[in-house]
Amino acid sequence: MDLQDLWFIAIALLWTGYFFLEGFGFGVGMLLSVLGRDEDERRALISTIGPVWDGNEVWLIVAAGATFASFPLWYATLFSGFYLPLLVILVALILRGVAFEYRGKVDSTRWRTNWDRAILFGSVVPAVLWGFVFGNIIRGVPVNADFDYAGGVWNLLNIYSLVGGLTTLTLFLLHGALFIALKTAGDIEVRGRQVAERVGLAAVVLTAVFLVWTQVERGKTPTAVTALLGGAALLSALVVNRVGRERWAFALSGATIALVTATFFVALYPDVLPSTNPAYSLTVDNARSTDYTLTILTWVAVIFLPLVLAYQAWTYWVFRQRITVRGGPDQVRSPPDAGAGTGQRDRRRRIARTR
pLDDT of residue 338 exceeding 60: no
* Residue 122 · residue 29 · CB < 8 Å: yes
For position 131, what pLDDT does the model report? 96
* Residue 10 · residue 59 · CB < 8 Å: no
For position 104, what pLDDT does the model report? 87
Q: What is the mean pLDDT of residues 119-140?
A: 95
d(CA 276, CA 256): 29
Q: What is the mean pLDDT of residues 94-122?
A: 93
* Residue 131 · residue 26 · CB < 8 Å: no
Q: What is the mean pLDDT of residues 99-122?
A: 92
pLDDT band at 339 (very low <50, low <70, confident <90, very high): very low
Q: What is the mean pLDDT of residues 1-24?
A: 94
Among candidate residues 84, 86, 82, 122, the one with its CA nearest the CA of residue 102 = 122
Q: What is the mean pLDDT of residues 208-219?
A: 93
Q: 36-77 pLDDT, tens per residue?
A: 888 888 999 999 998 889 889 999 999 999 999 999 999 999
Q: 144-174 pLDDT, tens per residue?
A: 998 888 888 888 999 999 999 999 999 999 9
* Residue 8 · residue 269 · CB < 8 Å: yes
Q: 180-211 pLDDT, tens per residue?
A: 999 998 889 999 999 999 999 999 999 999 99
The more confidently predicted of residues 36 and 252 is 252
Q: What is the mean pLDDT of residues 247-274?
A: 95
d(CA 185, CA 197): 18
Q: What is the mean pLDDT of residues 273-279?
A: 91
For position 341, what pLDDT does the model report? 41
For position 350, what pLDDT does the model report? 38
| 3-class SS of residue 191 | helix
pLDDT band at 326 (very low <50, low <70, confident <90, very high): low
Q: Is the dihedral angle over the CA atoms 332, 338, 344, 345 positive or is it negative?
A: negative
Q: What is the mean pLDDT of residues 262-267?
A: 95
pLDDT of residue 296 exceeding 60: yes
